[in-house]
Structure 1
Amino acid sequence: MRLLTDENFNGSILRGLIRRLPDLDVVRIQDVGLIHADDPTILEWAANEGRILLTHDVATITGYAYERIQNRLPMPGVVEVIATASIGLVIDDLYLFVCCSQPDEYEGQILFIPFP
């Protein structure tokens, strides 16, 4: 599974996930030259690279993701991570997400973590 984390994604969550899955294929927006890029640009880059976006940005990214779906543009998936949730719970749920699913399951999907 190939992941991309948004600019303001919680570093503690990312580090905890990488500790559990050291071979995880994840890059940060900062690492690929997209710092301060707008949401449509980020979603386009993620689609071109086949990466599912992990974000805390429930307010705006969701609308742009649905817009891509509506316009039949590629959208490998968005995982909305609720920023106020327990870090440990989020890491557990992301671990399950990565280990128990296939990337193509999330094409055109928006998933919210922690799981209900």
Structure 2
Amino acid sequence: MDNQETWAKCRECQTELTEKDKVCPKCGSTSKIHELSAFDGLIGRETIKLQKKKTGEGGVYSESIDGWFPSGDPKLTEGVYQSRTIDKEKDTYDQIVKDAKTGELLHEEHMPLSEHKNKEK
């Protein structure tokens, strides 16, 4: 990296700083902000998992998972997006699975949780 390139910004006055700047030449602050840029072609994948529990009672009574997952199917090289909600109190099981590359619906299931648990595999 060229020492004259912008390396950070001063947190106080937003002056652009180079890597050699230990203090801001404008305001004297040593606090810096570093910015990160993403390049075209990077793929961000995330998954969120939520669990509901009641205070004073053991165990999870509701769970939701939503996001990207790898697939064991060699045809689904980009993985799948899955949305699944399990609610023991309401006795519900809901699941939607889509191809991460095309968005095509691969699997959809809505049923009582008690029936899903007893399904033959």
- Give the shorter-chain TM-score range: under 0.3
Structure with larger RCO (C-alpha < 8 A, sep 6+): 1
Which protein shows a greater Rg? Answer: 2
Higher helix share: 1
TM-score (norm 1): 0.23
More strand by share: 2
